Amino acid sequence: MKGSHMKKFLISSVLFMLGLTAGAEAYPYLSFQYADGSAASFGIGSLSMTFADSGSKLVVSNGSTSQTLNVADITKMFFTANDVSGISVVTPEDTDSHLEVYDISGICVGKFANARSLDETVEPGIYLVRQNGKTKKIAVR
């Protein structure tokens, strides 16, 4: 019975939040926080959510990314202006120069003049980019 109440609560919450779409337009991400403290964010453009496995799983997709979440592990779901996962997305419009790029195991994959050349050269994935003494995580799609 407990699972049934949880499913009804989540469905009601999702419907309520989708009803707030007009107010959420200022927030480009829907974020989920998990019981272990980790988090994931999804851009709200083309966002869809469906339940699977009798309501125990939530499938979240925004067109470019899809993830299946265990409903029992979600502690918080909220709209935000920032991607709480801490991963940036490199787009061709970025014009940063002198990028040193490393894979997640720390191996240098190359040095690039700008984000456009990085995006066109490396395989999709997660990388560490060092520029001007600062390092950030990026996701190349």
pLDDT digits (tens, 9 = 90+) for 78-112: 888 776 666 555 544 444 457 888 888 888 898 88
Per DSSP, helices labelled H in 1-141 are 2-19, 21-24, 115-121
d(CA 141, CA 136): 16
How many other C-beta atoms lie within 10 A of the C-beta of residue 102? 15
C-beta of residue 42 within 8 angstroms of C-beta of residue 29:
yes
Highest mean pLDDT among 4-8, 17-21, 37-41, 58-62: 58-62
d(CA 28, CA 16): 17
Closest by CA to 13, choosing from 23, 22, 5, is 5
The predicted model scores a pTM of 0.47
